[in-house]
A and B are shown apart, each in its own frame.
Chain A
């Protein structure tokens, strides 16, 4: 049961989640009620076709990402593979880079005929404008979400379970399949759902790679409707996005049901670090495997990005065509500095809010009785699966004009962007904190309660410190994507609130695509510095 303070907090959490995540979508839904004839759009052939394609891409990319992500997670957390920390850092890196940059750099690499890889090979052997290419780049951009979650789960698992099995005579293989893997099922399912939702709602990759190959997914359809559908476009786009909403709700419901059913309390009081498994003669082959993955998923795309950022004319690889003029162009613009300030400030605040609100939501989702906490969890994760375009339009409709009072309008202010970012990334926080909290056995809190501590003190001194290490990760996971968010920012920004995403997009789309590569390179470098710093920070506090 909840005490009075908890009930107050619970209501505040509900109000915040409602305003940030539900109200905007609701205000479009209400608008649709008198327009029910639009609903027939859901069954139109083109829409169904793109729904099918979206699911195909989602499942194929998920399959590929699991095939890659699961072994990688195990190798980098539980074995003595050489260069463990290097891979831990770099194989997760693609997550922090906006996905559309991968699409851009793979276009540079693998265009039919003129792509770098095709030129180097001297023949036309790969094309990125295919279904396979789309799946591959999607996997490239999003597979780290699997690796992060699963390796966190593996690292925080109580090793005594495995040790017990081993003492009882289990072979390493048996221990892995009977203990380690089953214990991780909730984590793997959660990560798969996150991954699937990401691919469902991803826009940049299918827009850049899918449209030329005539592969239209739901998000690109919605974009087309809302951008080119005239005055009624917002409504049409929203109708099509009902499909995405349906899947989001269904998936998160299934996910939390599975989570509850198969939940294992992995952290019970005393915990020690799991011992590393020796790979023996497999050390080198495993290392080579990870090295290839690193080359393919990190080095090649980022390398292509850096390379293009020094080109004067796109696609000409002669020495006299290289130089720093793109960077020069970049730093003579006033907006560059503004954009850096805005993006980092917003990401910092947004990450904090995601952590705080995510903590509250997860706390009540795992601890409050009844059905309403589950609803709260669903509400908080709903916008994540919605395409950014729809959220942005919904926010404009609900907040942008201040409900008729001009004075209340937050259009073009950083606040609107902040709400958009939090609404979109709150799910990441909730999805990662809930398993972390679920793993903490209630016995610990009960012990505190029995010793006479108030519920706040229990949270303050027991629950929070135990969750804190994963909160650091949650902060990065939710804040870093905000630094270069594109789809929503492009609709919501105003003068003085340019962000890095909108600036890259404008450069790419209108004036100077090569300068966009340069700015993207700078962002990548700054992000990697940030990531190393946070690693160093978390290591020194451990």
Chain B
């Protein structure tokens, strides 16, 4: 095989492959949405969005909160992000973006029924969906009578070596869990969990898998993961702790340098309309506007709302300021 012959042989397949890649690129007025949502949820949004805005081409980057944040941060560090709209479940990141003047202040007329505590006071972002953190256990390993009923129950020594939660170093929701538990119960709570050999690693689905397999039969985890796993037929049970569930308010915002602010606003509005909110409910996430409804086989929001951990803009900014301290202290206490 000489070089010339090889080049000739390869010419055709190379051209075909390049053709394959260039053929499915499209042009037009586009709005980029960066979202931390499940794949199938994004798929659900695609059709109604297309119907509502045929003139706008909507493109998605869909990944975990951390990936979305890392990508937007990297893009912003060059001065310009491709994203127009961002939706993730890490409220702290939005506060940080707001402080850096990266967000375009906008209050949607569609979000008027939203509790004022879910609006940023300056309108930089609003809470668009409301995942919550609960306790989940494996019914094969733990009987209904033994099962924990409250966050404080997890302190009991009978759970030694059996509890896991996602790691605040790897998952944004876990950081929300930790900071809100610390705010409500103080560090002694985690001292007690440390005595119980709390395992804190991975994201929510890693915790869910540990519960499912019985490796760590009790876990602090997002309700949506639990509902989904349960639907698959796993032998697990969900506990809504008596002190309340942990809210993980998930904001939506428009980036200040978006080249398409007007289109972005329209889509922003759409995410507060009932169609969009119902898609969230179908995806096992609570809607902050349709309060009478709940994801299938979950407790109604109105009931959860009575005990849910406190949340408002002040708490958010206070937690955000202490973010690093909380992370470091948790690392020292649990992860070393």
Interface residues of A (CB under 8 A from B): 31, 111-114, 208, 211-212, 214, 223-224, 226-228, 230-231, 233-235, 312-316, 333, 335, 341, 345, 348-349, 352, 389, 393, 396-397, 400-401, 403-404, 406, 409, 411-415, 459-461, 464-465, 468, 490-491, 493-496, 506, 508-511, 513, 541
Q: Given the complex, which residues of A lie within 8 Å of B1, measured CB to CB?
A: 464-465, 468, 541
User: B39: CB under 8 A from chain A?
Assistant: yes
- Give the complex CA separation of A541 and B50 in angstroms: 52
Rounded to whole Å, the gap between the CB of B246 and the closest CB of chain A is: 18
Q: Is the contact region of chain A dominated by helix, strand, or loop, or is it mixed?
A: helix
* Chain A neighbourhood of B120, CB < 8 A: none
* Residue among A234, A490, A506 making CB contact with B77, cutoff 8 Å: A234
Whether B54 sits at the interface, judged by CB under 8 Å, is no
Contact status A314-B209, CB under 8 Å: yes
Contact pick for B75, options A396, A415, A465, A509, CB 8 Å: A396
A465–B2 CA distance with the chains assembled, in angstroms: 5
Other CB < 8 Å A-B pairs besides A406-B80, A464-B6, A509-B64, 19 of them? A113-B215, A211-B169, A230-B93, A230-B96, A231-B77, A231-B100, A234-B74, A315-B212, A316-B235, A335-B39, A396-B75, A401-B79, A403-B78, A404-B80, A411-B82, A465-B2, A491-B67, A491-B70, A510-B39
Among listed B150-158, B226-234, B248-256, B304-312, interface-contacting one: B226-234
Q: Is the CB of B213 within 8 A of A211?
A: no
Segment of B9-17, B261-269, B289-297 in the binding face: B9-17
16 contacts between A and B (CB under 8 A): A114-B215, A227-B70, A230-B73, A234-B74, A333-B39, A345-B20, A349-B14, A389-B70, A396-B71, A411-B82, A415-B21, A459-B3, A465-B1, A490-B63, A495-B62, A541-B1
Contact pattern, B 13-48, Cβ under 8 Å of A = 1, otherwise 0: 110011011001100000000000011100000000
Query: Can you name the residue of chain B whose Cβ is closest to the Cβ of A503?
Result: B39
| A268–chain B nearest beta-carbon distance, Å | 21
Q: Is the CB of B18 within 8 A of A349?
A: yes
Q: What chain B residues lie within 8 Å of A412 (beta carbons)? A: 59, 61, 82
A461-B5 Cα distance, complex, nearest whole Å = 11
Verify if B170 is at the interface (C-beta below 8 Å from A): yes
* Interchain CA distance A111-B209 in the complex, whole Å: 12
Chain A residues with Cβ below 8 Å from B203 are 509
Instruction: Across the interface, name the chain B residue whose C-beta is closest to A464.
Output: B3
Bound-state Cα–Cα, A406 to B81, Å: 10
Once the chains bind, are B61 and A495 in contact (CB under 8 Å)? yes
- B214 at the binding interface (Cβ < 8 Å): yes
Known: A214-B336, A228-B170, A414-B21. A406 touches B259 (CB 8 A): yes
A276 CB → nearest B CB, Å:
27
A contact residues around B59 at 8 Å (CB): 412, 494-495
Considering only CB atoms and an 8 Å cut-off, how many residues of chain B contact the other chain? 68
Tell me whether A312 and B71 are in contact (CB under 8 A).
Answer: no
How far does the Cβ of B61 sit from chain A's closest Cβ, in whole Å? 6
Total CB contacts across the A-B interface at under 8 A: 161
**Cβ–Cβ contact B38 & A511, under 8 A:** yes
B199 within 8 A of A: yes
B53 within 8 A of A: no
Question: Are B96 and A231 in contact, with the CB atoms below 8 A?
Answer: yes
The answer on a CB contact under 8 Å between B201 and A212 is yes
Residue from B73, B199, B209 with most neighbouring chain A CB atoms (10 Å):
B73
Least CB distance from A393 to B in Å reads: 5
Residues of A within 8 A of B259 (CB): 406
When distances are taken between beta carbons in the complex, the residues of chain B under 8 Å from A491 are 67, 70-71, 74
Residue among A228, A315, A509 with max Cβ neighbours from chain B (10 Å): A228
What CA separation (Å) do A509 and B225 show in the bound complex?
11
Contact A397 B78 (CB under 8 A): yes
A332 to chain B, nearest CB (A): 10
Asked whether A401 and B213 contact (CB < 8 A) given A406-B259, A459-B3, A495-B60, the answer is no
Query: Known contacts A212-B202, A397-B74, A400-B74; is A510 also within 8 Å of B64 by CB?
Result: yes
- Please indicate the chain A residues that have their CB under 8 angstroms from the CB of B205 in the complex: 508-510, 513
B126 adjacent to chain A (CB < 8 Å): no
- Residues of A contacting B14 in the complex (Cβ-Cβ under 8 angstroms): 349, 352
Asked if A393 and B335 sit within 8 Å, CB to CB, the answer is no
User: Which chain A positions have C-beta within 8 A of B335?
Assistant: 214
